[in-house]
């Protein structure tokens, strides 16, 4: 800090002498979290005292915009309410210290935290030596090396964080009042979250407009020596079979029945499967979601624990490198350690040279990829010290990194064509010639990736036909976003950064703009309303292009290639002018979403009104405020007792939202599948929305005794 703030005066130099510490005093190290403080203090010994700021201590005020738009967009920084005691304690400890080392996280946010704390300490204790240290991993070697070579604060990185903070304030604290005035009090809008919400809403429109089409497939179960082989019909009468309904499928099955089967062709190819690069923040969150079922928030919380350090018996150490990164770069020292380890444990799978992975176009490449701090910490060796989910995530990181430095896998893929009458059936199998990097992949490989089967067939071989059966399917429409797919979309579009993916999803869920059902992200009525207004009047602000452009600007500010104040001027004043126009011309939508229903209030007899609240639609008595009766909206008729099916919430358990009868406990009918407003044409029960890998998103009857499945023809009938 002393090296970066140049306005030094002679009286400060005098003050520095007066505040000089006596020889033998401790050095104060300030980190962000208590867990990290505990780990680092053990490494540094008795000459250092390590304290935690527990995140930001100084920030913009919550009650107002806190940005002086007329004077260089200078932010107004204040001590955060409730954090003054922590800041005061740091000042008291700093006064007793020989020097202060600011050791917050090695990213923009961490640099800003260090800058603001350092600036405050310098104002309180003139002349105190204040330096910045940063480490990509919390190991004894990395920490001691960083402390032995402190550096000045990176003010360009501080400016980039300041620009992001100011930009978010300018957008959020201007759009939110518009929503309060025109829609409903208490709403909020944000730059990145609004762009993410638009993606989710646009996808929902695609899901709703998709009409599934019926198709059938035909499969033969064949006997070959002692084994059975499944094969799919790929050609019929020389053409690809067009089986659009049950009648065509059954006619084809009948034509193929009682015909002999023989292998008409067999061919094999070798396929090379290369290992994937080590994890970035995005790919870690995606893989943890797909393989472990973790939300992005849970993944980052566990990764933070693994980074900050865990007790490993007699010692404490961080197990992974910094978990907020968009780079696949690996330190040379880590590559050397990995190759040495592989030479000992998997010499046959060690490539001739280390594998180096190129960074993406939008990668900042400020930090390494996410990797283990030491390969000696194998998942088995640390299993007894970790919680179950911690071990799962650490295993993903360890396996992915080690595999990235191993040779590719080589598979032999054998495909056979089998003639039955005028039909050609096809089957294939793959087997490993060289297992390669899959030698270390256990948890992170799917069953399909681990499968290895030989196809022991020969050209001209006669096979026994055990059965030929037809199966009904429906084309799958676009899938709703999950944590994994929305993160992938945000990354590809350049919306946000590794540190913002998880908070963005969490914010949308907490504000009930989006709900998570069966791991899918679905916009609520409230979320849709907000997105529609912002998309109509501010498409340039919440569009993916603008958000990505702003992220690029922040990168340029950090690289000292752009003036952030000038960029704010170019954005803000046209934006504010448009905002003022919309504020004065847009008619209020308050109450427009309210809808009088034919449901009568059981307390006063007046009609109930469907209203939009923070947590979606609900029913309220039109006699308010004299009658304050409210209740959930009936979604369907209970098939058990004729009561109303309403949405309910369970604060515990994985599946927090379920649907039950309003007459509970007299009626205990419950379903976890979302009811629709459509009745089953076969039995009269209501249809529910289901999702599975075989049929995608579709509707099915809630009646367990009914086999009705929603189809395109049924859609037409409903019209």
* pLDDT tens for each residue of 553-580: 998 999 899 999 999 999 999 999 999 9
pLDDT band at 351 (very low <50, low <70, confident <90, very high): very high
pLDDT band at 361 (very low <50, low <70, confident <90, very high): low
Residue 545 pLDDT > 90, yes or no?
no
Residue 479 DSSP code: P
Residue 1 pLDDT > 50, yes or no?
no
Q: Which residues contact 327 (CB under 8 A, 6 or more apart)?
A: 280, 359, 363, 364, 365, 366, 367, 368, 369
What is the mean predicted confidence (pLDDT) over 132-157? 92
Q: Which residues contact 669 (CB under 8 A, 6 or more apart)?
A: 638, 639, 640, 641, 645, 660, 661
What interhelical angle do 483-493 and 544-558 show, nearest 10? 60
Provide the CB-side half-sphere exposure for 670 (13 A, CA). Answer: 12
pLDDT band at 14 (very low <50, low <70, confident <90, very high): very low
- List Cα–Cα distances, 281 to 32, 39, 285, 324, 654, in angstroms: 20, 23, 6, 5, 24
Residue 607 pLDDT > 50, yes or no?
yes
Sign of CA dihedral 384, 385, 388, 390: negative
In angstroms, the CA 112 to CA 155 distance is 9
pLDDT band at 656 (very low <50, low <70, confident <90, very high): low
- Measured in whole angstroms, how far is the alpha carbon of residue 394 from the centre of its chain? 18
- Known catalytic residues? 322
3-state helix, strand, coil in the chain (%, to 5): 40, 25, 40
Contact 518, 693 (CB under 8 A): no
Phi-psi region of 696 (alpha: psi -120 to 50; beta: other; left: phi over 0): left
Domains of the chain plus CATH, in order, are 10-153 (3.40.50.140), 162-210+479-585 (1.10.460.10), 214-274+409-474 (2.70.20.10), 281-293+308-404 (1.10.290.10), 595-718 (no CATH)
Residue 437 DSSP code: G
Residue 503 pLDDT > 80, yes or no?
yes
Stronger pLDDT, 659 or 676, i.e. the higher one = 659
**Cα dihedral angle (414, 419, 422, 423), rounded to 10 degrees?**
-40
pTM here?
A: 0.78
Give the pLDDT score at 6.
35
Give the pLDDT score at 60.
94
In angstroms, the CA 457 to CA 464 distance is 13
Per DSSP, helices labelled H in 288-348 are: 296-308, 332-345
Q: What is the pLDDT of residues 421-464, one digit of tens each?
A: 999 999 999 999 999 999 999 887 777 777 778 888 999 999 99
């Amino acid at each position: 800090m002393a090296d970066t703030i140049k306005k030094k005066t002679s009286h400060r130099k005098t003050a520095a002498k007066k505040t000089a510490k006596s020889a033998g005093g401790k050095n104060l190290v300030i980190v962000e979290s208590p867990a990290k403080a505990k780990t680092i203090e053990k490494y540094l010994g008795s000459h250092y005292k390590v304290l935690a700021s527990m995140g930001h201590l100084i920030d913009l005020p919550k009650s107002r915009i806190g940005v002086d738009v007329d004077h260089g967009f200078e932010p107004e920084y204040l001590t955060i309410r409730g954090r003054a005691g922590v800041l005061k304690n740091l000042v008291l400890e700093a006064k007793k210290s020989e020097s202060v080392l600011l050791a917050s996280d090695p990213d923009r946010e961490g640099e800003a935290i260090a800058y603001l704390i350092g600036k405050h300490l310098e104002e309180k204790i003139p002349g105190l030596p204040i330096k910045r240290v940063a480490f990509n991993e919390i190991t004894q070697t990395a920490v001691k090396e960083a402390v032995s070579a402190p550096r000045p604060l990176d003010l360009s990185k501080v400016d980039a964080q300041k620009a992001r903070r100011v930009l978010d304030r300018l957008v959020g604290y201007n759009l939110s009042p518009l929503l309060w005035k025109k829609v409903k009090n208490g709403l909020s809008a944000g730059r990145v979250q609004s762009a993410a919400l638009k993606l989710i809403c646009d996808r929902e429109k695609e899901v709703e407009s998709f009409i599934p089409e019926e198709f059938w497939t035909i499969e033969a179960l064949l006997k070959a020596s002692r084994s059975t082989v499944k094969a799919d019909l790929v050609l019929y009468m020389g053409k690809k079979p067009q089986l659009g309904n049950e009648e065509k499928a059954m006619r084809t099955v009948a034509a193929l029945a009682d015909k002999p089967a023989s292998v008409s062709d067999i061919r094999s190819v070798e396929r090379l499967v290369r290992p994937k690069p080590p994890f970035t923040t995005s790919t870690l969150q995606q893989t943890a979601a797909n393989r472990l079922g973790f939300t992005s928030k849970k993944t980052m919380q566990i990764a933070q624990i693994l980074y900050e350090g865990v007790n490993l018996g007699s010692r404490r150490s961080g197990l992974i490198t910094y978990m907020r990164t968009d780079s696949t770069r690996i330190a040379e020292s880590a590559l050397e350690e990995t190759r040495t380890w592989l030479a000992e444990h998997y010499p046959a799978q060690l490539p001739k040279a280390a594998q180096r992975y190129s960074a993406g176009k939008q990668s900042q490449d400020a930090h390494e990829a996410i990797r283990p701090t030491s390969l000696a910490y194998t998942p088995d060796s640390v299993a007894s010290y970790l919680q179950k989910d911690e071990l799962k995530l650490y295993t993903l990181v360890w396996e992915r990194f080690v595999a990235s430095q191993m040779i590719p896998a080589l598979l032999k893929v054998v495909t056979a064509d089998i003639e039955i009458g005028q039909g050609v059936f096809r089957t294939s199998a793959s087997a490993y010639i060289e297992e390669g990097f899959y030698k270390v992949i256990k948890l992170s490989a799917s069953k399909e990736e681990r499968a290895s089967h030989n196809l022991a067939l020969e050209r001209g071989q006669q096979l026994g036909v055990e059965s030929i059966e037809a199966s009904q399917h429906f084309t799958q429409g676009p899938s709703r976003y999950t944590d994994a797919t929305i993160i992938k979309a945000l990354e590809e579009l350049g919306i946000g950064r590794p540190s913002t993916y998880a908070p963005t999803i969490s914010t949308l869920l907490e504000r009930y703009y989006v709900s998570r059902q069966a791991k899918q992200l679905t916009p609520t009525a409230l979320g849709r309303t907000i997105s529609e207004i912002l998309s109509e009047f501010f498409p340039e602000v919440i569009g993916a292009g603008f958000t990505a452009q702003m992220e690029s600007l922040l990168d340029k500010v950090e690289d000292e290639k752009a003036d952030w104040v000038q960029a704010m001027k170019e954005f803000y004043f046209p934006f504010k002018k448009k905002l003022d126009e919309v504020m004065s011309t847009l008619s209020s939508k308050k109450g427009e979403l309210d809808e009088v229903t034919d449901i009568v209030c059981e307390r006063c007899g007046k009609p109930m009104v469907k209203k939009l609240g923070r947590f979606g639609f609900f029913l309220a008595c039109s006699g308010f405020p004299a009658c304050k009766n409210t209740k959930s909206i009936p979604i369907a008729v209970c098939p058990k007792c004729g009561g109303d099916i309403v949405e309910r919430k369970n604060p515990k358990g994985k599946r927090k939202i379920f649907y039950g009868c309003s007459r509970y406990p007299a009626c205990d009918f419950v379903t976890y599948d979302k009811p629709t407003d459509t009745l089953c044409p076969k039995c009269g029960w209501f249809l529910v929305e289901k999702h599975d890998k075989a049929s995608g998103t579709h509707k099915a009857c809630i009646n367990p005794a009914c086999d009705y499945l929603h189809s395109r023809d049924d859609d037409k009938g409903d019209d």
